[in-house]
Amino acid sequence: MSDPVVSADVMSLAGELGAERSKPDWSTFSLAINDDQREIRDWAHTFAADVIRPAAAEWDEREQTPWPIIQEAAKVGIYGLDMNINLFVDPTGLLMPLVHEELFWGDAGIAMSLKGTGLASSAIFSNGTPEQWSQWMGRCYGTPDDVRVAAFCSSEPGAGSDVSAIRTRAVFDERTSEWVINGQKAWATNGGIADIHVVVATVDPSLGTKGQAAFVVPKSEVRGLEQGTKLRKHGLRASHTADVFFDNVRIPAENVLGGKEKLDARIARAHEARAAAGTAASGAGASGSAGRNASMATFEMTRHIVGAQAIGIARAAYEVALDYAKTREQFGRPIIDNQGIAFKLADMAMEIDAARLLVWRAANMSAALMRGETPDYRHGEGSMAKLKAGEVAVKVTEEAIQILGGNGYTREYPVERMHRDAKIYTIFEGTSEIQRLVIARAISGMRIR
C-alpha cells in the first residue's frame, strides 16, 4: 500500500513540472505529421500504387526509361520543379522523405527515373546564382507536354569515391569567352538522354577539389557531347545509366554555376591559403577544417533523401513478406506461426522504423535553413541516415526472399527485383564505407583514412 502523503507530493510535483513543460519551448519535439504533409504523402502513395507499381515489372524487364509514366507524373504534378520546391520549403524537412519513401515503395527503378533529375536541379540550386536558377532549373524538367530529364555528371572511371581524382577539364577560352570541356563521365543517371547535364570539371588541377566547378551543359545547344555505353544493371533497371563523353564542348562563360567572377576569386583564395599554409601551419589548419565542415554540411543536407528511397524499397518488401507469411501454409499452419519467421518479420519492422527515425532526424536538421537556423551536424547525421537505410534495405529485401522461399527467388514475385534495386543504396551517393568514414571523422575530429 502506498503512503497517501507521499502520493500527494508526487502528484503535486508532477502537476508543477507538467505545467512548466507544457510551455511552447518544451513541446517542440514531435513525430506527428500535419494535415498538409499527410495529404501530399497520400497523393504520392496513390500515384505509386495506381501508376508506378503496376508498371514495375514491365519496365524492369524492358530496361528503358519509362517516358509515359514520367509524362503522366508531370501532368498530375508529381514530376516537375514546382513539386520539388513544394517539398523543399517544408520547415520540418519531412515532406521530402515522406514523398520519396512512397514513390520508391511503388518501384525504385521508375521512381529513380522520376527523381534522378533532382540531382542536377539540386546542384544548380546549391551552387548557382538566382539568375541561373531561373534560367536552368525549369529546363531540367521540361513541361507536361514536353517532359525532359536532367543528369548530374560527377563520377568518372577513375574518380568514384575519390572526387579529387576528377580529370574532366574545363578551360576558359579568353578569345571567345567560352569554357571548353573535355573528359569522360561514368555511371551518369540520365546521362546522354538528358538535355541539361550538370558537369563537375576541374579548372585548376593543382588545387584538387578546391579547383573544381560545376557547369551547365545543355545538350541541345552544343556539339561534342555524346552518350557512351548505356549500362546493363543488376537493379534500378528502369533508370537510364550511361557514360558521357565531352569532346571540346563549348559553353558560354556564364554557364559555370555561381559565376566566373566568384570562381576566379575562390581559386585565388585557395592559392593564397596554400601559400600561407607553408608559413603559418596552424592558421591553415583552422581554415582547412572550416572548409571541410562546409562541404560536410552540403552533403549531409541531402543524404537522408536517398535513405528515404531505400526505406521505401524495404517497406515494400516487408509488406509482401508479411502478407505471404500469413497466407502460405506448411506443416498445416501459416508459416508466420513459426517464431523463426515471425521474429524475422519483427526485426524487419523494427529496422525499417529505426532507419526512418534516423532519416527524419537528418531531414529535420537539413530544414534548419528553412527555419532561419544553421544546420548543426555533429556526428555525420545525414550519413548515418543514408548508411543505416541502405543497409536495412539490403537486409530486409534479402529476408523477404527467404520468407517467400522458392517463390521469392522468381520474377513471379516482386521481392527479387526489390532486392536487386536495394543493393545500389550501399554504393551510390557515397558507399557504406565512405559514410562510415564521414561518421568516424565527425566523431573523432581526426582525419581517419
Work out the end-to-end distance of the chain between its first and last CA atoms, rounded to an integer number of angstroms: 61
Nearest to 201 by CA among 211, 187, 186, 190: 211
Contact with ligand FAD (CB under 6 A) among 153, 305, 320, 394:
153
Report the alpha-carbon distance of residue 248 to residue 116 in Å, rounded.
26
Asked if 150 interacts with ligand FAD (CB under 6 A), we say no
**C-beta closer to ligand FAD: residue 36 or 226:** 226
Is 429 among the catalytic positions?
Answer: yes
With cell 593564397, the residue in question is 272
Report the alpha-carbon distance of residue 389 to residue 355 in Å, rounded.
5
**C-beta closer to ligand FAD: residue 126 or 177:** 126
Q: How many CB atoms lie within 10 A of CB 78?
A: 22
For residue 207, give every residue at least 6 positions away whose Cβ sits within 8 Å of its Cβ, in sequence order, or none. Answer: 267, 270, 271, 274
Q: How far is the CB of 128 from ligand FAD (least distance, A)?
A: 18
Asked if 227 interacts with ligand FAD (CB under 6 A), we say no
Asked if 194 interacts with ligand FAD (CB under 6 A), we say no
Question: Helix 432-444 and helix 281-327: axis angle, to 10°?
Answer: 130
Asked if 65 interacts with ligand FAD (CB under 6 A), we say no
> Segment contacting ligand FAD (CB under 6 A): 56-64, 66-74, 147-155, 208-216?
147-155
Contact with ligand FAD (CB under 6 A) among 52, 424, 439, 442:
424
For residue 138, give every residue at least 6 positions away whose Cβ sits within 8 Å of its Cβ, in sequence order, or none. Answer: 81
Q: How many CB atoms lie within 10 A of CB 263?
A: 20
Give bridge partners of residue 334 from the DSSP assignment: 329
Q: For ligand FAD, what does the binding mask look like between residues 239 and 268, x meaning CB under 6 A? A: --x---------------------------
For ligand FAD (CB under 6 A), the number of binding residues is 20
Pairing of strands 196-202, 150-153: parallel
Contact with ligand FAD (CB under 6 A) among 150, 188, 257, 321:
188
Contact with ligand FAD (CB under 6 A) among 267, 437, 439, 442:
437
Q: How far is the CB of 157 from ligand FAD (least distance, A)?
A: 8
Q: By CB under 6 A, name the binding residues for ligand FAD.
A: 119, 152-155, 160-161, 187-189, 233, 236, 241, 424, 427-428, 431, 433-434, 437
Q: Supply the residues annotated as catalytic.
A: 429
